Structure 1
Amino acid sequence: MPVPFETTLEVRDSCLCLHAQRAARALARRFDEVLRPVGLTNGQFSLLMSLNRPEPPPMKPVADLLAMDRTTLTAALKPLERRGLVSIEVGLKDRRSRRLRLTDQGREVLASAVPIWRETHRAIEAGLPGLDANGLRAALVALS
């Protein structure tokens, strides 16, 4: 039995997954554009920010925070490592583990990107009057 067109309209208008994906792609494009001058994508910015910790984290907590598997994280790290923004170090206690460290150059690039992120983030929130941004964040966290 074919799916009626009305069902297509229902999904188009009500599907949380579809709307979250569309919003995520639109936000990603916007942040990719504004971060281009510092040579980062939005994903690279998030990855570098996730490494901005007092101690170099192991891969698993970073992958968990970014909601990606270790293989995807490893692939995302490679261009940052080639650019000298990140170093991947062998764990001290377990030589099989890897610790991820921002290099000095990585910290500089991240520091230059933060004001761009802040300005863009403020503009996005200001452009959505009536938005309860904290409520939206809480709902997104609950879904993730």
Structure 2
Amino acid sequence: MSKIDILPFETTIMVRDTCLCLHAQRAARALARRFDDVLRPLGLTNGQFSLLMSLNRPQPANMSQVASVLAMDRTTLTACLKPLERRGLVNVSADPDDKRTRRLTLTPEGRKLLVKALPVWKRTHAELDRLVSDPEHLRADLRALS
């Protein structure tokens, strides 16, 4: 192995300390664990909460709209919807104008669960906002990166 093939350990430290992707992934995992923990008594994960919340709208959403909001592909969205549909929280139906398009709506049970989950989400967010110096700036920066 030549010297060109060897990266010094200092490079590893530099990447560890400066890599935005690494820090975003670590923060996302920590946030996901925190929200999973507080939503668990309601039988929800953080991803399920976000999915249900994305369906809280005046008109039924289609798959593409929800996938876009959640930054996931339609195949992943379909897999995430299945347990919520089995629990009777979400209804997936054909669009009356285009049978190829699926419309997603919250059921009354899904709405009731969101009402229960929202105070938990708000309380947890208030705790998190106290941990960062400027939460609104952080949100703006994260939106810029996404």
Q: Which runs of 5 or more structure 2 residues have no equivalent in the other structure?
A: none
Give 1:132's aligned amino acid. D
User: Segments of 4+ in structure 1 off by > 4 A?
Assistant: none
Report % sequence identity.
65
CA distance in 2, matches of 1:55, 1:43: 21
Does residue 1:4 correspond to 2:5, yes or no? no
Residue in 1 aligned with 2:83?
Answer: 79
Report the Cα distance in structure 2 between the residues aligned to 1:5 and 1:38, rounded to whole angstroms.
Answer: 45
What RMSD over aligned residues (CA atoms) do the two structures have, in Å? 0.7
Report whether the alignment pairs 1:116 with 2:120.
yes
Structure 1: gaps (5+ residues)? none
Secondary structure of the structure 2 residue equivalent to 1:101: strand
Partner of 2:38: 34
Cα distance, 1:37 vs structure 2: 0.9
For the residue of structure 2 that corresponds to 1:136, the secondary structure is helix
SS at structure 2 position matched to 1:54 = coil
Kindly state the Cα deviation for residue 92 of structure 1 after the two structures are TM-superposed.
1.3
Higher Rg of the two aligned structures: 2
Give the superposition deviation at 1:113: 0.2
Give me the TM-score of the superposition, normalised by structure 2: 0.95
